[in-house]
Structure 1
Amino acid sequence: MAASSDTTTKVAENGLRYKSKAPGSPFVSSGAFSSSTMSCFLCGKHRLRSQLKSRRLLGKVQTVCAPSCKELANT
Structure 2
Amino acid sequence: MAKADTKTKIVADGLRYKSKVSGSPFTAATSFGAATMSCFLCGKHRARSQMVSKKILGKSQAVCSPSCKALDQALEEANKKPSAE
Shorter-chain TM-score category? 0.7 to 0.9
TM-score w.r.t. length of structure 1:
0.72
Gaps of 5+ in 1: 1-5
State TM-score, norm by structure 2: 0.65
The list of structure 1 runs, each at least 4 consecutive aligned residues, that deviate by more than 2 angstroms after superposition, is: 6-12, 15-20
Larger Rg, first or second structure (1 or 2)? 2
Aligned pair count reads 70
Is 1:51 the counterpart of 2:18? The answer is: no
Structure 2 counterpart SS, 1:71: helix
Per-residue Cα deviation, 1:9-65 (whole angstroms, up to 9, x for no partner): 4567xx765453211111133311221000100011111001000011112110000
Structure 2 gap segments, 5+ residues each: 75-85
Larger relative contact order (Cα-Cα within 8 Å, sequence gap ≥ 6): 1
More helix by share: 2
CA-atom RMSD in angstroms: 2.5
